[in-house]
Amino acid sequence: MTAQLNHTIVYSSDRAKSARFLAEILGLPAPVRFGPFEVVELDNGVSLDFAAAGGPIQPQHYAFLISEADFDAVFGRIREQGLQCWADPGRSRPGEINHNDGGRGVYFPDPDGHYLEVITRPYGSGSS
């Protein structure tokens, strides 16, 4: 048996704004409308389908594996937009990046407070 994640729904106060934010930060194609969703396609065939929240939003965590070269561009866009960012999930190292597993990573919020993370090495793949 094989199982792969195909898509997940991300609730937001403004689905178009949130989907556009993610696509722009990650340097992905513009979101595509599909029914009630704004869909952001990732490079591994998984999509994040942004939907209107029917009430308060419970922030979730979404982590994206990107290349070393893409990290520079993504981190540059985070800084250009003046977003808060942290090297750790506890938010104790503001404005820094981490070098976990011999790569680089950073955490930052989306417009609805979802906690986004970009990493260049999967957890457990190298030295800490």
Going from N- to C-terminal start, the domains of the chain cover: 7-119
Segment 22-51 shows an average pLDDT of 98
Query: Which pLDDT band holds residue 126 (cuts at 50, 70, 90)?
Result: confident
Q: What is the 3-state secondary structure (H, E, C) of 6-42?
A: CEEEEEECCHHHHHHHHHHHHCCCCCEEECCEEEEEC
Query: Which pLDDT band holds residue 128 (cuts at 50, 70, 90)?
Result: low
**CATH numeric code, 7-119:** 3.10.180.10
Residue 80: is its pLDDT beyond 60? yes
